[in-house]
Structure 1
Amino acid sequence: MLALSHLAPRKAFLRYTNLQVVICLAIGYFVSMIVAAIYLGAFSQDAYIASKVGDSISRDFIRERNAAIGMPLVTVYAIICNYYLFTRARTCLFSFLNHNHVAKTQKWVIYTIARKTWLNLKISFVFGLGVTLTYLYAEGLLVTDALSESPSIIVFLNVSAVPFWSFSVLLVLQLIFITRFVIKHFLEKEKIGMFGSKKLQPISDLVISNVVITAFFIALFPLFWMGKEIPNIDKVITLFVFVALSLFLLRPVMKVHNFIATQKSQSIERINKAIFVAFAERQDKKRRLTDNPERLSQLSSLINLKHEINSVSSWPIDLPQGIKGIAVASTIPLSWAIGSIIESLISQFF
């Protein structure tokens, strides 16, 4: 009871909060941050014109403008995805428990996810605060006099950087945790069978959802490059991070694929040996297969079983999931086009 008591506030929050409420709160946060940025001059028309004619403030203005758009948008996305990831993991794992004989309970699943989420939340906020304070220290803004003399927009952006870094890091930590949690507790070898891929459908759904979340998360970061020439090294780093994180998130699918492929290979090898033995006995005794109906029936069963095993897919992902994965792969290149569209809209209305 003592171990569960500290989870009571979090369980109450989850009970009375749904995704729609979280989305509304997140959108409210985004709107308020944009309004505050406009009020503080992040989209000042004079500064924008000066940046176009090559004034010395152009670089600082573009950086502040991009941060005023990018940080709240990424923060809102991370907030929504963190809550969605929690509920999605709970739903998929509960479905997996209902379709499989696993020695785990729904109460244990929700307790473990909630406990680890709370820990990751603490770590991410400490990290976000640490990054912000480090930047302020590096810029010499931690001194009270320097902070009071700084432009309001600079102070505002540094304050908004705390939730930006915190929820972004929390999303990455949660994606890693959920993936490791699934591999460790739900994909034991004895629970994976060649003909049981449908029972793994909830795990596959969860994996694909995580990859989709990651793809759109990475695709938002080019917003910070609007109005600037994107360095090739930044493009390479962005694609590398996306590929590396996606490969890690796909580990549950790869583990199932490798195990089922191994099972298929071993089963087919045993069947081939049995068929070879049947033919070898026929040749030794110089008899036709039709002379022994029992042997003929056994051989026919082996051939049918081999055909059935060959037809089994070793991938626990169906066609709709595969199409979804292909769509995800196109999000990163499209993000540069989206950034250009947003930049043109800003130049038109501000």
Structure 2
Amino acid sequence: MNVTAQRYSTLVICIFTGIGILIVAFCFGAFELTRLDTPLGVRQRNAALAFGIMISFFIYINGYLYQRSVKCFSDFLNKYPGEMNHETMVVELQTGFSKCRKYSWIGGGLITVVYLFSEGLLSLESDILSWYLSVLGLFFWRYAICTLFCLLFVTRFALSRFLNEGLIDLFGIEKFKHLSELVISNAVISALSLSLIPIFWLGINVPIIDRVIVSIAFLMLTSFLFLPVNKVQRCIAKKKSLAIQRINDSIKQLFLLNEKHKRRLTDDPVRLRKLSSLINSKQQISAVSEWAIDIPQGMKTIAIVFSVPLSWAIGALVDKYLQEIIEISKMV
């Protein structure tokens, strides 16, 4: 099965998984209007809806992230095979993703247990819906943490194996196009993940501090994911500055020789050609781009930055109209 067919089959499985989660929650009464009279009922409805959507999303994204990483790194190695062996790259990615999946069960289990007991949501007197949502919570946190671990691993892998300072050439910015595409796709994944959080907030007065915490978490994660691009920029800017400085020193030496020999520079064709060559080289180096992101990728980056607050604004509108529909339903 090729990658495209596998991706579509995974997508279909995820869709049916989400639908199945919502159907079972509906059978347990998660979406009954009578539950909306209590804060706990509203939270249970939101959790059922969010779990159905986000668990399916994370399952698909975890597979997509691995396939995307292999493709981008493979495209890079196809153009520059001397940087790393392709088989070694695949093995290291498989090992890293396997560890992320294993440790995510531990992290997800710990967070689920701590959250349930701290909120008092798990007791022997709980109804079947509460137990069902508790089990879903384990899978939700497991897949959410797995996605986070995989994003961090891929970024660290790119930084350590493909972005050594010696590999970053002053005129080789094009070689990092595939890596910058991977960085942007990872940032899109993180933005989409956080954009779904308002589902948990439907019908609930969310403290401003919660929104601030989520926003800060998004900015910190995005900043880390863009470290490969920033590292390339810093290295090229450093080499660019050093190269221009050396050219300026060479130009100064030419004029010092002119004063020493008391001859005009225009009377010495050799030094004149050398000066022209130095000026031309300086112009070429000055025109070198320091960023591995082109204009289309830059537009994607801007869209990523504004996607999370935009999703929250849309979520607020949906919540407003949803509450109006519920009030009308109660009156009927």
Q: Smaller-chain TM-score range? A: over 0.9
C-alpha distance after superposition, 1:203-250 (max 9, x if no partner): 111111111111111111121111112211111101110111111111
Structure 2 counterpart of 1:304, from 275, 280, 288? 280
d(CA) in 2 for partners of 1:141, 1:330: 34
> Normalising to structure 1: TM-score of the pair?
0.87
d(CA) in 1 for partners of 2:115, 2:284: 61
Alignment of 1:317 onto 2:297: no
- 1:224 is matched with 200
Deviation at 1:16, TM superposition (A): 10
Report the aligned-residue RMSD.
Answer: 2.1
- 1:66 is matched with 46
Structure 2 counterpart of 1:104, from 65, 69, 84? 84
Matched residue SS, 1:227: coil
Residue pairs, 1:1-350, within 5 angstroms: 18-48=6-36, 51=37, 57=38, 59-137=39-117, 146-147=123-124, 149-343=125-319, 344-345=321-322, 348=325
Q: Is the Cα–Cα contact under 8 Å of residues 72 and 164 in structure 1 kept in the other structure?
A: no
d(CA) in 2 for partners of 1:77, 1:15: 18
Structure 1 runs of 4+ off > 6 angstroms? 13-17, 139-142
Matched residue SS, 2:203: coil
Matched residue SS, 1:330: helix
Q: How many pairs are equivalent?
A: 326
d(CA) in 1 for partners of 2:220, 2:118: 30
Deviation at 1:133, TM superposition (A): 3.6
d(CA) in 2 for partners of 1:124, 1:324: 29
d(CA) in 2 for partners of 1:330, 1:141: 34
d(CA) in 1 for partners of 2:300, 2:192: 13
For structure 1, the 5+ residue unaligned runs are 1-12, 52-56
d(CA) in 1 for partners of 2:208, 2:120: 31
Deviation at 1:132, TM superposition (A): 3.0
Deviation at 1:17, TM superposition (A): 6.8
Deviation at 1:130, TM superposition (A): 3.1
Deviation at 1:279, TM superposition (A): 1.3
% identical equivalent positions: 37
d(CA) in 2 for partners of 1:203, 1:346: 44
Q: Is the Cα–Cα contact under 8 Å of residues 83 and 162 in structure 2 kept in the other structure?
A: no
Mark the CA change 1:19 to 1:252 in structure 2 (over 3 Å): closer, same or farther: same
Look up the equivalent residue of 1:18 and give its one-letter code: Q
Deviation at 1:348, TM superposition (A): 3.8
d(CA) in 2 for partners of 1:15, 1:276: 58
For structure 2, the 5+ residue unaligned runs are none
d(CA) in 2 for partners of 1:196, 1:103: 13
Mark the CA change 1:152 to 1:342 in structure 2 (over 3 Å): closer, same or farther: farther
C-alpha distance after superposition, 1:88-144 (max 9, x if no partner): 1000000111112434222111111111211111111122233334445557787xx
d(CA) in 2 for partners of 1:123, 1:16: 28
> Normalising to structure 2: TM-score of the pair?
0.92
Deviation at 1:199, TM superposition (A): 0.8
- 1:9 is matched with none
Look up the equivalent residue of 2:6 and give its one-letter code: N
